[in-house]
Structure 1
Amino acid sequence: IPYNTETVTGFFSDGPVNDIFAFLRLCVYEEDSLSYAQILRSPMVNLSSEETNAIITLSLPPFSDDSAVQSVLEEEAFNRYLRAGIFFNELKSFSRNEPLTKTVTKLWYESGYCYETMWNQTVSMYGKMYDLIFELARQSEEQNMSLASFVDSVRTYQNQAEKLEGMDIPLEQADGVHILSIHKSKGLEYPVVFICATHKGSMRDRNANAVYSSKEYGITVNTPPSAAFPDSKSNYFYQKTADLEKARRYAELRRLVYVALTRAKDQLYITNGKYAYTENAAEKYSPGGNGALESIYNVLEPVINFYLSEEYKGAKPFSVEYIPPMERTFESTAQKRKNSGAEKQKLIAELNANGTYKNAETVEKDDVPRLYLSPSHLYGADDETFIQGRKVTTANTAAALENVPYPEINRIIEESIPAAAKENSGTGDDFISREPRFSPADFGTIAHTYLEAAVKQTEPVLSNTAIAGIADNKKNLKTVLEICTEMAEEFKKSPLGKEASSSTWHKAEYPFKSRIGEKIVRGTIDLVFKSADGSYTIVDYKTNQTMNPELYYVQLACYRQAVQEMLAVPDDVKIRCVLYYLRYHKEIDITEECCRTDIEKSISSFEN
């Protein structure tokens, strides 16, 4: 039976999802032999288990054009292997400079997965997987994730019970049954609704944890079972609130049943796989009754039994039907087209003979402008390069400049670049390291973490991703952390830092969204504080090797507008905009320039 569902669980239990992410992982982590083996066995290469094992045993880099590989493969299999290798190297190079969404799109369409799901009717339901993968990539892209961070972040969904959150995207719905949870059905109406398996119960509250927490009594430790309470860990406060918690759960279950029933416009079917008549159901399951309300059917049983009782002689608002068990049957595939290369080639030949593609009209895709923008990507200068598809000024790169403070940082960044990458530098050869490297962006992340902790007067909590490139080099890691500690201390001793510490109100890493024209600008302000005179100061930390404040007029102007709107700051109250260069322990006030900046015009020129 064709179906659609918006509740996505077991994301990685589907083969296409595993294959797509295995390919993406291999583009970043070439030593990942499990991903490599999965790609070789996937439809993208379609090798047998024996052939895959033979290649993995050779311990060669992925898709090596080596005579040893050719010796373990038949000619046809070797040709598929070579074609997959060409595409792998192409995608690996493509992913270095293009956004995640474009990388995912290229992989889905050009690997053949898209057309296989269109052709092979037995796997057509996998076609919507691309929409989900694309949405995950889009969300990660908005968080400025690299490809490595993206593939690492989705590992949490490898737990088959894990649900994809925040995936309310408009999937193309085919004809069929819509499967959705009662929670998801709010506000929806269908002509026919089935509420299935209403006999199944929910998990009981047995207070099995080592501690018990309640809003009224806080956290208390559970003691071993006692004679008075043999079914649960004894806890006075748990027992005291048990009846109240039970009443809340029952009320919530009744609310959910109401939501489920009222989704049906014309017909409503309720199924119960273990029906048995319950004596005194009204006394047990009506509000205030003494029965344990454990299922949807328990909620409905009093009214159902009332109408089914012999005492009731009126018209029933429903009918009851016994459905006998049936063996599972499968639709015959005789009418479906064969999933073979010969059949596909036959179709292509017919399309070419009919001139289908030659005479087809080009469909112009609407160019939908981006709704969200990040102020940190709005640069006002022409001196820029592209990293991971994002505009980054050369001032943020690790170029060897003279008289730059903290040269140890540049040395550590340089040392983290693998030797093979240095050998290929400037040759035009593509190279992706098997080992994580320490980038200028990683250093900036760590420095920002230390500055945030200094303002909040807490201990810095480092991101594993930021230190991955130097985690194995204890000496370099210690040097980086000592430098960041020194930068934080110097900021605290500076006039700006002292003013922030003595401020009546301050926020570090302050997120915001602000509407500017037709765009929504969203970002995070490093520091904003309110002085005793009522004025506000916005501080943006920079780890650049050179000081080019003109690059950040638009960015800080966006911050300024956001602060004014969020905090309802009157026009006559001053809002300062300050860049603080951590390497130089120097602040530069760009308030006047930010006030003169036409943000909407700047955004428009940036996009054009």
Structure 2
Amino acid sequence: KGLQFPIVILPWIENKGSNRRAQALWEMLPEGLAVDIKPWDKPGAKANNLFFKLGSELEAEKDLAEIKRLLYVACTRAEDHLYFFGKRQKQADEKGLSFQYYIEKHLASQSDTPSSGRVDMISLQRRTKDDLRHWYGRQRKPSAGDFALAYAKAKPLVRDIRRRRLSVTDLNTLSKGNPGTQSHPAALSPTTPLPAEKFGELCHEAVEQALEHGPGWSYEPSETLARGLDPDGFARAVILASSMARGFLESEFWQALPETAAIKSEKSFLLAVGNFVVDGRMDLFAETDTDVFVIDFKSDAVRNPEGYRTQLELYRKAASAFAPGKSVSVGLFWLRTSELEWISPSMEEKDLIELAERASRGIGQEYA
């Protein structure tokens, strides 16, 4: 658990799994041990233990729960494509002891409307006895040389397998470079003693700590950020990042936010965009009784709001899904100048789907 792969295949889903013992003589209960034996002093008596029966039912429920957990873990290992292989059984599984039971149950309940959670079933050609004779009826068994020759003649099987799960960064990167870039020389200062990427990580960590602890906090950078950096330059960068984070706490927006607002930093989401799933994380998600505010913190030396328009549009859609019916505002907080810039909606659903299609085609080449 924890590993993920672009393509995951689950074979033999018709197999029934169980941790149950074939001949159970005892069952564990929270209150003690229930034993299923006949009374020694009553010949011909039948074993009839109410507590043992109760324990058996509890164990059966645990078995079903474990099978569901295994199926969940197996399915969530797939990033983009998930394949199930199994065969139809003459006697259907009615107790839910196989993966196939739950997949067929989903097939029976899903609508005809395409969605990212849809399961499509494909019937494969049934093999006959003649096929088996052809495979196993050879007079001469293949040698190592035969395999080597076949391998040398083999050609790679190329398939255009597109990714279905994308990131906000994937889509935003494609849309960067739009006209409308605004460069503000005043925003270039103060200069930073660290590379831009490292300084950005430092600023985000400082803001996250500031949101958690409030104005009286003192920034304590993680050790991993300091590795391989000049100690003096890093110390100056820490002071600068702390000052920028404090600038947000002193901003008009933060001061005016109601105390009853629900604040969440680094709020993760999965968003359906057409037939794709986009994952992302919002720096700040603030929700009041009537409004939702999403803010992305930027430590860029040059202000370019157009370069983040796709990112913010995805944030807007995700926030609307989290809080349906509420007014959603998304904006960029420029840490160097302590300015908050609200971004108005400018992209439609079809624009985001088109970007997802383009991103999928580009990234899908990794698996070709």
TM range (shorter): 0.5 to 0.7
Structure 2: which amino acid aligns with 1:518? N
Q: 1:514 to 1:287 in 2, by over 3 A?
A: closer
2-structure distance, mates of 1:606, 1:443? 28
State the shift of 1:371 in Å.
2.7
Instruction: Return 5+ residue gaps in structure 1 as ranges.
Output: 1-131, 140-168, 174-186, 194-258, 262-267, 272-280, 318-345, 385-394, 396-400, 414-439
Q: What secondary structure is seen at the aligned counterpart in 2 of 1:600?
A: helix
Q: Deviation of residue 564 (structure 1)?
A: 0.7
Do the aligned residues in 1 keep the contact of 2:176 with 2:307 (CA within 8 Å)?
A: no
The alignment partner of 2:268 has SS state of strand
Show the 5 A alignment for 1:63-462: 136=3, 138=5, 170=9, 189-190=16-17, 260-261=20-21, 268=22, 293=32, 298-299=33-34, 302-303=35-36, 305-306=37-38, 309=40, 311-313=42-44, 347=144, 351=147, 355-357=149-151, 359-360=153-154, 362=155, 364-379=157-172, 380-381=174-175, 404-407=188-191, 409=192, 411-413=193-195, 440-458=196-214, 459=217, 462=221
Could you say if the C-alpha distance between residues 607 and 545 of structure 1 is closer, same or farther in structure 2, counting changes exceeding 3 Å? farther
Q: Note closer, same or farther for the CA distance 1:383–1:465 as it changes in structure 2 (3 Å cut).
A: farther
Which residue number corresponds to residue 158 of structure 1? none
Residues of 2 paired with 1:514 and 1:347: CA distance? 50
Higher strand share: 2
In the alignment, the residues of structure 2 paired with residue 498 and residue 602 of structure 1 have an alpha-carbon distance, to the nearest angstrom, of 37
What is the aligned partner in structure 2 of residue 579 from structure 1?
A: 332
Question: Which one is further off, 551-560 or 491-500?
Answer: 491-500
CA separation in 1, counterparts of 2:169 and 2:258? 25
3-state SS in 1 of match to 2:43 = coil
Aligned partner letter, 1:374: S
Give per-residue Cα distances to partners, 1:84-122, cap 9 Å, x unaligned: xxxxxxxxxxxxxxxxxxxxxxxxxxxxxxxxxxxxxxx
Separation in structure 1 between the aligned mates of residue 348 and residue 340 of structure 2, nearest angstrom:
18
- Is residue 2:246 matched to residue 1:489? yes
Does structure 2 retain, via aligned residues, the 8 Å contact 1:442–1:467?
A: no
Q: Is the CA contact (8 Å cut-off) linking 1:527 and 1:538 kept in structure 2?
A: yes
Equivalence for 2:111: none
Residue identity in the other structure for 1:357: Y
CA RMSD of aligned residues (A): 4.1
Aligned 8 A contact 1:507 1:529 in 2:
yes
SS in 2 for 1:370: coil
Question: Given residue 144 of structure 2, which amino acid in structure 1 is its aligned partner?
Answer: L
Q: Is the 8 A contact 1:553 1:597 kept in 2?
A: no
Q: Tell me which residue corresponds to 1:30.
A: none
Q: Give 3-state SS (helix, strand or coil) of 1:412's partner.
A: coil
Q: 1:539 to 1:287 in 2, by over 3 A?
A: closer
C-alpha displacement at 1:485, in angstroms? Answer: 0.9
Question: Which has the larger share of helix?
Answer: 1
Structure 1 CA distance, aligned partners of 2:246 and 2:286? 18
C-alpha separation in 1, matches of 2:238 and 2:157 = 52
Distance 1:445 1:270 in 2: 57
Identity in percent: 18
1:356 Cα shift?
Answer: 2.1
Look up the match of 2:227: 468
Matched residue SS, 1:587: strand
Q: Look at both structures and tell me which one has the larger radius of gyration over its CA atoms.
A: 1
Higher relative contact order (CA 8 A, sep 6+): 2
Q: Matches of 1:465 and 1:474 in 2, distance apart?
A: 13
* 1:546 Cα deviation after fit: 1.7
Distance 1:574 1:286 in 2: 54
Q: Structure 2 CA distance, aligned partners of 1:596 and 1:269?
A: 59
Instruction: Specify whether residues 596 and 498 from structure 1 end up closer, same or farther in structure 2 by C-alpha distance, changes over 3 A only.
Output: farther
SS across alignment from 1:260: coil
Q: Is the 8 A contact 2:268 2:279 kept in 1?
A: yes
| Cα pair distance change 1:136/1:313, threshold 3 Å | same
After TM superposition, give the deviation of residue 525 of structure 1 in Å.
Answer: 0.8
Mapped partners of 2:284, 2:43: distance in 1:
71
The 8 Å contact of residues 293 and 328 in structure 2, kept in 1 or not, is answered as yes
Aligned twin of 1:605: 358
What letter is aligned with 2:151? Y
**C-alpha distance in 2, partners of 1:404/1:286?**
69
**Aligned pair in 2 of structure 1 residues 530, 137: CA closer, same or farther (>3 Å)?**
closer
Secondary structure of residue in 2 paired with 1:364: coil
**TM-score, L = length of structure 2:** 0.57
Shift of 1:347: 3.4
- Total equivalences in the alignment: 256
Distance in 1 (CA, whole Å) between partners of 2:208 and 2:277 is 25
1:516-551 CA distance string (max 9 Å, x none) = 21112222111122467x232211111222222112
- 1:416 alignment partner in structure 2: none
Q: Distance in 2 between matches of 1:603 and 1:288?
A: 52
Output the CA distance in 1 between the equivalents of 2:150 and 2:291.
Answer: 68
The 3-state SS of whatever aligns with 1:136 is coil
Partner of 1:433: none
Decide whether aligned partners of structure 1 residues 536 and 316 sit closer, same or farther in structure 2, where only a CA change above 3 A counts.
closer
Alpha-carbon offset, residue 447 of structure 1: 1.0
Judged with a 3 Å threshold, the aligned counterparts in structure 2 of structure 1 residues 351 and 288 are, in CA distance, closer, same or farther, namely closer
Tell me if structure 2 keeps the 8 A contact 1:450–1:484. Answer: yes
Query: CA contact under 8 A between 1:536 and 1:574: conserved in structure 2?
Result: yes
Please tell me whether residue 593 in structure 1 is matched to residue 349 in structure 2: no
Residues 550 and 347 (structure 1 numbering): CA distance in 2 closer, same or farther, change over 3 Å?
same
Q: Tell me which amino acid in the other structure corresponds to 2:264.
A: K
The 1-side partners of 2:28 and 2:243 are apart by: 67
In structure 1, give the amino acid aligned to 2:286: F
The answer to whether the 8 A contact 2:284-2:294 is kept is: yes
After superposition, what is the alpha-carbon deviation per residue over 1:40-65, rounded to whole angstroms, capped at 9, x for unaligned? xxxxxxxxxxxxxxxxxxxxxxxxxx
Distance in 2 (alpha carbons) for counterparts of 1:286 and 1:312: 27
State the partner residue of 2:235.
478
CA contact (8 A) 2:164 2:360 kept: no
Report the secondary structure of 1:357's partner residue. helix
Q: Conserved in 2, the CA contact under 8 Å of 1:517 and 1:600?
A: yes
Give the Cα separation in 2 of the matches to 1:447 and 1:566: 26
The separation in 1 between residues aligned to 2:224 and 2:5, in whole angstroms, is 20
| 8 Å Cα contact 1:443-1:466 kept in structure 2 | no
Q: Is the 8 A contact 2:284 2:295 kept in 1?
A: yes
Aligned to 1:209: none
Q: What SS is found at the alignment partner of 1:522?
A: strand
Corresponding position: 1:519 with 2:276: yes
